[in-house]
Amino acid sequence: MQITKRNVELRVDDSLMRVYVASPKPAGVYPGIVFYSDIYQLGSPIIRLANYLAGFGYVVAAPEIFHRLEPIGLVIEPDDLGRMRGNDNARRTAIAEYDADSRAVIDFLKAESTVNADKIGTLGFCIGGHLAFRAAFETEVKASACCYPTGIPSGKLGKGVADTIHRVKEITGEILLVLGTLDPHIPESDRQILIKAIEDAKVPHKVVLYEAEHTFMRDDGYRYDSAATTSAWAEIVEFLGRVFAD
């Protein structure tokens, strides 16, 4: 399916938040996806992932997660300095600010004429995986695909300690966790804490594990694993398709 691409601006807490929107080109009404990047914001690898998903029949809205701290359109380079910059931005962003951004993008999607307001989901990577999981606290969110989400058991997300692990019972939709067993940022102990919290809350979920490292779906890095990425995309597309099936 061919797609269209555009940038829109949303105002959140008097800050201009750029949102990249990829949509199916054929006329119709589609599910909407809040799409979260990693700490490097909307660089080419993340845009490719957003475009890929849109081609399966989704209106994908990807916000710049550090819009309060960085110029509009700023892409953080995925090197040592960029990692420091991205992590510092994450630490300086309040948890409530991340939540406000999530609410704003959900409201934007619900107002779009090409989006079925009853079919809202999220997808995210790394810090974005945590944000996608957290967005599932919103009642409109029916499906959340969280790829190697960092910091959920520890509460490491932004300024202060995130209460995400203690709020799992608020999730009313379904969860897909995509994890790498070689990921030092989400060790086995964290994986088990997260999975147990989901199970205890009786949230419908699926966990898929790959013998892969952190950010294995990012195609510009040394950790990229094309086979695991292809399989993960198949899981994501099947998951979203099932949840949003008519």
Give me the active site residues, please: 126, 183, 214
- Cβ neighbours of residue 15 closer than 8 Å, sequence gap 6 or more: 67, 68
- Of 220, 239, 73, 56, the closest CA to residue 147 belongs to 239
Rg over CA atoms, the chain? 16
Region at 32 (left for phi over 0; alpha for psi -120 to 50; beta for the rest): beta
Place of tokens 């475009």: 51
DSSP code, position 159: B
Q: Return d(Cα 145, Cα 161) in angstroms, integer.
A: 23
